[in-house]
């Protein structure tokens, strides 16, 4: 059996909201690149190098899944280390991993 299993008690419950549709891999990639470039302006020079290398791989187009996954992990690692300011990159990286089947 698959799906959600939810237990709710009390009054005025609205259930689970699932209004977010699936994102294409291309849309997810574009979101990640935009978020990474915005984050780039707020990090140190060494972290910018990591972001630049990852964005170059992401923009390169067709390539092996291992290389793409390493670029995702690298940019997500920088985002995780800088705290709340990196949250958009983490979210975008997660959406791309899901859309591209890299989980």
- Whether 70 is in a domain gets the answer yes
pLDDT at 1: 45
* Dihedral (CA of 6, 12, 21, 81) sign: negative
Do the domain assignments include residue 17?
no
Give a yes or no: residue 47 inside a domain.
yes
pLDDT tens-digit series, residues 32-86: 999 999 999 999 999 999 999 999 999 997 778 899 999 999 999 999 999 999 9
Query: What is the C-alpha to C-alpha distance for residues 33 and 8, in angstroms, rounded to an integer?
Result: 39
Residue 5 within a domain: no
pLDDT at position 31 over 80: yes
User: Is the separation of the CB atoms in 93 and 40 below 8 Å?
Assistant: no
Residue 19 covered by a domain: no
Note the pTM of the prediction, 2 decimals. Answer: 0.76
C-alpha 1 chain-centroid distance: 29
Whether residue 41 lies inside any domain: the answer is: yes
């Amino acid at each position: 059996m698959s799906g959600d299993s939810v237990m709710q008690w009390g009054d005025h419950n609205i259930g689970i909201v699932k209004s977010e549709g699936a994102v294409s891999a291309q849309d997810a990639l574009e979101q990640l690149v935009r978020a990474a470039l915005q984050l780039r302006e707020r990090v140190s020079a060494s972290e910018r190098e990591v972001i630049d290398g990852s964005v170059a791989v992401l923009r390169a187009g067709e390539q092996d899944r291992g290389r793409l996954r390493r670029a995702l992990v690298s940019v997500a690692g920088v985002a995780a280390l800088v705290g709340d300011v990196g949250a958009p990159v983490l979210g975008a990286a997660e959406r791309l991993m899901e859309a591209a089947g890299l989980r």
